[in-house]
Amino acid sequence: MACYVSILYYYLLYFIDQRERERERERDMAKAKTSTFTIKHEMTVGTSPATEAIPIGSLIDVADAQALEIVSVDYVWQPYDTANDLYLANMDIINGTAGATVQLMDKNSAAFISAADNNMISSANLFVGASFLYSEGDFYPDDFKGDTGRFVVNDEMYLISDLQGTYDSNRTYKVSVLIRAKVVKLSTRDWMAISLETVQNE
């Protein structure tokens, strides 16, 4: 009986040790260089896919193995009067029904990509009709490892949007992406792994 107790005791110590090592690795993987801040970018949603770059190269020091850790991404849709350069309160600016999509990614793509693509950071949709209007976002960032968010080591992120439908005259939607992030320093090994994965996915 004592032998079984001893074996169980050593297994328990081994499990605790491995768990502590795992927690240390999570803590060491990304050391925050800044507090959390918000990156904002607005784009006009046209009736054909269009892509805009969001520069982040000035925020991270590649030579210091830094990355941008994305904590959360939110989208705000606003109706816009193009003739008078005004934001509107009435969201119903569509002739009939329409659907709009926006994706945030870390590769320059002229087309939408699959949600299973590793380059996808976040996405959202807007649906509009005569008697309904609703938007939905996903649960990205898509990389939840312990307490970390999604790491980006590129010098740019990219926002692509499109609306399938017809706007009323002189009307359009503008979508603003609000990215909560912080600059972190990675271990050289982790930074190289993320960089190689990013290059491979291009």
Kindly report the pTM of this predicted structure: 0.79
* Token duo for residue 3: 């032998």
Q: Which residues pair with residue 105 across a beta bridge?
A: 120, 158
Instruction: Kindly calculate the radius of gyration of the chain based on its CA atoms and give it in whole angstroms.
Output: 22
Model confidence pLDDT, tens digit, residues 71-82: 889 999 999 999
Task: Return the pLDDT at 6.
Answer: 59
Of 174, 35, 20, nearest to 93 by C-alpha is 174
Burial environment of residue 130 by CB neighbours within 10 A (0 to 12, 13 to 18, 19 or more): exposed
The CA distance from 12 to 74, in Å, is: 43
The CA distance from 119 to 202, in Å, is: 8
Model confidence pLDDT, tens digit, residues 111-166: 999 988 888 999 999 999 877 787 877 755 554 444 678 889 889 999 999 999 99
Task: Return the pLDDT at 24.
Answer: 54
Fold of 33-201: Jelly Rolls (2.60.120)
Task: Return the pLDDT at 75.
Answer: 94
